[in-house]
Amino acid sequence: MLAAFSLKSEFAARRNKLYRIAYSWCHSSALADDLAQETIYKAIKNASGLRDVGTIDTWLYRILFNCWQDYLRVKNRNVEFVEMHDDAQAEHAESYQQSQIVDRVRSAIEKLPMPLREVVTLADFAGLSYTEIAEIIDVPIGTVMSRLFRARKKLKQQLLDFGREELAGVKLRSIK
């Protein structure tokens, strides 16, 4: 077992990633910050429960998932989907295009039902394996696989539909 100070620094080093995952679920910077903070607090408080330092990421994401579920249970409300905007103006066409792609993907992820959103963010944002995700959200691995498949299929369809809508307004003319 690592020393308490070393564990605290390991937890703190993962705070930004915890925040990003929480933000992808709740779309509120204040709430995501609270969830990440609560996760680290609970991790420090229960550090003796960490048996294998190699599974620290899975352990932390499980705590984060539990904090998120507790929040939803206490608030007894559905998560509202909020349209997200990138306030920063892009200075270059390439970075502007990148930000547009990111906005489209975020928007598509926001539209996913929460069980699909949780799985796709843990797999694609956090880079966790099916086994780790199944352990975190406490469902069979087959459920993780099917949710991830459905989430990616819905994302693909939403992004393709968005591209078609965008192209529908474009008129091509021939130049002689």
100-148 pLDDT, tens digit each: 777 788 888 888 899 999 999 899 888 899 999 999 999 999 999 999 9
Residues 121 and 159 in one domain: yes
Q: Which domain holds residue 73?
A: 1-80
Contacts of 44 (CB under 8 A, 6+ apart): 7, 8, 11
Is 176 within the bounds of a domain?
no
Residues 65 and 110 in one domain: no
The rounded distance, in Å, linking the Cα atoms of 164 and 131 is 36
| Mean pLDDT value of segment 39-67 | 85
Query: How much is the pLDDT for 32?
Result: 92
Arithmetic mean of pLDDT over the chain: 79
Q: Encoding tokens for residue 121?
A: 């963010």
Q: Encoding tokens for residue 94?
A: 């390439």
Residues 157 and 116 in one domain: yes
Q: Encoding tokens for residue 5?
A: 């100070």
Q: What is the CATH number of the domain that holds 121?
A: 1.10.10.10
Residues 1 and 74 in one domain: yes
Main-chain phi, psi angles of 91, to 5 degrees: -85, -25
Query: How much is the pLDDT for 91?
Result: 52
Residues 111 and 142 in one domain: yes
Instruction: Give the model's confidence band at 14: pLDDT under 50 very low, under 70 low, under 90 confident, else very high.
Output: confident
Given 80, 103, 119, which residue is the final one in a domain? 80
